[in-house]
Amino acid sequence: MEFDDDLTACARLVERGDPDRFDAAMAAPVEARAVLFPLYAFNLEVARAPWLTQESMIAEMRLQWWRDALDEIATGGLVRRHEVVTPLALVLDAGGAGLLDRLVAARRWDIYRDPFEDEAHFTRYLEETSGHLILAAGRALGGMPEQVASDLGYASGLAGFLRAVPVLEAQGRLPLIDGRPEAVAALARGGLARLKRARGSMGMVAKPARAALLPGWQAGALLAQAASDPARVGAGTLGLSEFGRRARLLKSAVTGRV
């Protein structure tokens, strides 16, 4: 596989802005990277769009730009020239574009300071951001059971969200429905339960699509930390050593399991 200028640009964007997914993509088979890097670059651009401005209208316009690009991909018409959109159009079908459109819509929560409405809203946010990215990647790589993507997406999305809690609070947000230590621990245990269910079904994932699962390689360890010591969430100390990160990623890459 040869990377053209667009794929190289996507890889560099992910390397700079989302090092965990960059490492996951680099641990994937070489042929999968041409699929993963455009998807991860898209996700990065969408995730940071609400934070590039204090003007909610401008943030809405930025997200709408991506929804319009996805609509062009879904309808099979002329697709705008862009270093991320152009290679993204080569890996998405209409169904995949629809999944990512719902991802963009879910990111509207990031624009405003309103808390999540309830637990169902929070769950849907994680499933439609992290989960839909996994599902779209698995779909582009040959097929992914929706329940596996939803469960792993929830677990890995929750782990990432808990790591972001101090930053969100510093921005004046109320990120958690219930921030009491016992509630945070229960939330993390719920994530671990969904991760366990995803692991039990990974045999249903076709081998080429297992590369889409690799971004979840840290979820189990991070959620276990939050469950056993929820104070680490507010303190911003959830995380693995560099050796632990590398060892877990290598194991996931070799076994195809997270």
Tell me which residue of 59, 38, 37, 41 sits closest to 50, measured CA to CA. Answer: 59
Q: In this structure, is the dihedral angle defined by the CA atoms of residues 172, 175, 179 and 184, taken in order, positive or negative?
A: negative
Residues whose CB is less than 8 angstroms from the CB of residue 85 and which lie 6 or more positions away in sequence, other chains included: 42, 69, 72, 73, 79
* Planar angle of CA 112, 46, 204, nearest 5 degrees: 115
Q: How far apart are CA 163 and CA 179, in angstroms?
A: 14
Q: How far apart are CA 195 and CA 187, in angstroms?
A: 13
pLDDT of residue 54: 87
pLDDT of residue 257: 84
How big is the chain, counted in residues? 258
Per-residue pLDDT of the chain (258 residues; tens, 9 = 90+): 568 999 999 999 999 999 999 999 999 999 999 999 999 999 999 999 999 888 999 999 999 999 999 999 999 989 999 999 999 999 999 999 999 999 999 999 999 989 999 999 999 999 999 999 999 999 999 999 999 999 999 999 999 999 999 999 999 899 999 999 999 999 999 999 999 999 999 999 999 999 999 999 999 999 999 999 999 999 999 999 999 999 999 999 988 889
* Planar angle of CA 128, 131, 137, nearest 5 degrees: 115
Contact 124, 177 (CB under 8 A): no
* Rg (the chain; Cα; Å): 17
Q: How far apart are CA 202 and CA 180, in angstroms?
A: 33
Q: Which tokens belong to 167?
A: 């930053």
Contact 143, 206 (CB under 8 A): yes
Contact 213, 205 (CB under 8 A): yes
pLDDT of residue 131: 98
pLDDT of residue 1: 54
* Planar angle of CA 227, 196, 232, nearest 5 degrees: 20
pLDDT of residue 64: 97
* The dihedral formed by the CA atoms of 181, 186, 188 and 194, expressed in degrees to the nearest 10: -170
Contact 74, 52 (CB under 8 A): no
